[in-house]
Structure 1
Amino acid sequence: MTGLLAGLDLAVDGRSFDLRSSSDAGELAKAALLESLSIQLHDRLPSLFEPTPQEIRQALASFAAGDAFARLARDFFARLTYRSLDYYLSRELANHTGEDRRFSTDAQRVAFQQALAQHTFEVSRIVEEYAGGWYGKTVWQKQALDRDAIDKFTAYAFKKMRSEFGRRRAVA
């Protein structure tokens, strides 16, 4: 499985026209994708021995089911959202940790980061509810997934996430 993820990492990098122009957002998305795939595949592969190429293909093919795709999408969007928020917050949290500050100890700051990760996972449920139906409908109508459909899915998934964050903020 390590070879698959390393190959995917290289393939994503190779899709850039200019490797020097990779963005922080692109790197966050790639890391979230690789981490999500690693975890989701690990749950589908035998754990005692190194999986065979056939077992890896079967595990990848299992994402073609709407519910499995939905879980993968939720995991990805939760990780990407957390990584994006943490990317910016990590620069500032140190300024708010210490005596007479928001977080008096590192343990409190870590607890905040864990709560943030949990919150992004809970918010991403909205994507899971949408993704399974979207996948089935898109494959049925188009008989494939093209770049345009994936771009529209991604934009709408982010819109749903932002809406859910706003809804939760209004309730709190």
Structure 2
Amino acid sequence: MITIEMIDELRARVDVTYEDAKEALENSQGDILEAIIYLERNNKINSKKQEYKEDHKEEQKEEQDGFTRAVCKVISWSKNVLRKGNSNHLVIVKNDNVILRLSLTVIVLVVVLAPYISLPLLLLALFTGHKIKFVGDDIEKTRANDTMDKASTTAENIKSEFVK
């Protein structure tokens, strides 16, 4: 005896009408696999739905590939930033003696995590005669050291004005 559940099960697997599903199950004595084979042999499976499912699977794969490419780009960019941050350093010098040398990665983390401590300490270093400079292949191509020299000069001018 063919039940509605059996017909629904067959229709869930292949796109056929209820009538075709019932006929296929009757001809295969209720065996779903045999019913699918029967439907294929008699070309009763709706190929449009199968094509849609295959196209949709391809779209999902393309979306996953796009997401994977985006993640790879972010990881590559992050590696590049970390490499540059670790190869360039902030150096604090007083009287030609290196007081502190930290990678830019560490400096950024300290400034982000503790700005109320780190920024006043950097200003204090400027006002106490320390020189702050950046060292590294990537950072020396920029005008960062010129800016730090101007900040040191400004701090010295403010300090001398305050003393007067």
Same fold, judged at TM 0.5 (above):
no
Could you say which structure has the greater relative contact order, defined with CA pairs below 8 angstroms and 6 or more residues apart?
1
TM-score normalized with structure 2 length: 0.21
Higher-helix-fraction structure: 1
Higher-strand-fraction structure: 2
